[in-house]
Structure 1
Amino acid sequence: MDLKEIQNLIKFVANSGVAEVKLETGDVKITIRTTLEGSTETTYVQQMPQQNMLQQAVAPQQIAQVTSEAVVVPMADDSSKYVTVKSPIIGTLYRKPSPDKPMFVEVGSVISKGDVLCVIEAMKLFNEIESEVSGKIVKILVDDSSPVEFDQPLFLVDPS
């Protein structure tokens, strides 16, 4: 289920007057509760083993005058051995220092603690995001020039 489908479901529930809707599809379970003010609360839960049950809060989104808040529980898989580099601020992520320069890091790049991984522009200020671990970039989770939220995963690093 992608974001557009979830947003459409939230709009439908908000306009229908239903108090609560539960939907289960594969590994995803969604519960949408409507309050008296017409706002909805959405909770996403993915089934996973009891180990490594981490919850990640996603900032509230404004969708057609419907406020929703999502909680995502990531699936446990082979990526559990990797360190996730998360965004410390809200802004626009840039993977290059300027349009004519090469990317800070690519998949397979070996990084050290303190290396710049990307920059995030917030209110016309460019903030360098430095690595807090040494290792190898395994996966880049965000595209260049993409908006990012606080605590959003940006990179997976293999610390070994």
Structure 2
Amino acid sequence: MDIKEIQNLIKFVAKSGASEVKLEMEDVKITIRTGSERTETTIVQAAPMQGMPHMAAPMAAAPVAEQPAAVVESEDAKYITIKSPIIGTFYRKPSPDKPNFAEVGTEVSIGDTVCVIEAMKLFNEIESEISGKIVKVLVDDSSPVEFDQPLFLVDPS
């Protein structure tokens, strides 16, 4: 799990209102506790295995390079973005044998389901918060998505 995923997880937990979240994977344990005005995060990584000489020395933390922000093209500036409210797997269809919720050119209204995001074996229907026409689908079907990741561009006119 990299630092960006951990930061997104912290943001998600802080916004969700949960008081404590524990995540344990094979080599990392993360506990996030939110309190009155502060968020406490504890990250524990497993000790390196003795049989692996290249991992025996402690690793120095490499500086995280900031990636330049994506430049929005001027023609896309007039569109409104539908973003992912959760971390999970993006699906354009309710099931493999059904048609896509929304295609390029589909007119959507407020409250229309535009996709499904699976998180922890739960399928969450994502509804449009705006009315307009879908101009671009920004994520491939069955792809992982992060919190606040753009999913669709909508022309509100």
TM range (shorter): 0.5 to 0.7
1:136 and 2:117 matched: no
Following TM superposition, where does structure 1 have runs of at least 4 consecutive aligned residues deviating by more than 3 angstroms? Answer: none
Equivalent position amino acid for 1:137 in 2:
I
Q: What runs of 5+ residues in structure 1 fail to find an aligned partner?
A: 1-35, 46-71
**How many residue pairs were aligned?**
99
1:152 and 2:149 matched: yes
**Which residue, out of 38, 49, 55, partners 2:61?**
38
**Which residue, out of 69, 91, 96, partners 1:94?**
91
Root-mean-square deviation (CA, aligned residues, Å) is 1.4
TM-score (normalised: structure 1): 0.59
By how many angstroms is 1:152 displaced?
0.6
Tell me which residue corresponds to 1:105.
102
- Aligned runs of 1:56-71 on 2, under 5 Å? none
By how many angstroms is 1:73 displaced?
4.0
CA distance in 2, matches of 1:133, 1:121: 22
TM-score (normalised: structure 2): 0.60
CA distance in 1, matches of 2:82, 2:66: 24
Task: Select the structure of larger CA radius of gyration.
Answer: 2
CA distance in 1, matches of 2:71, 2:147: 17
- Aligned runs of 1:3-82 on 2, under 5 Å? 37-45=60-68, 72-82=69-79
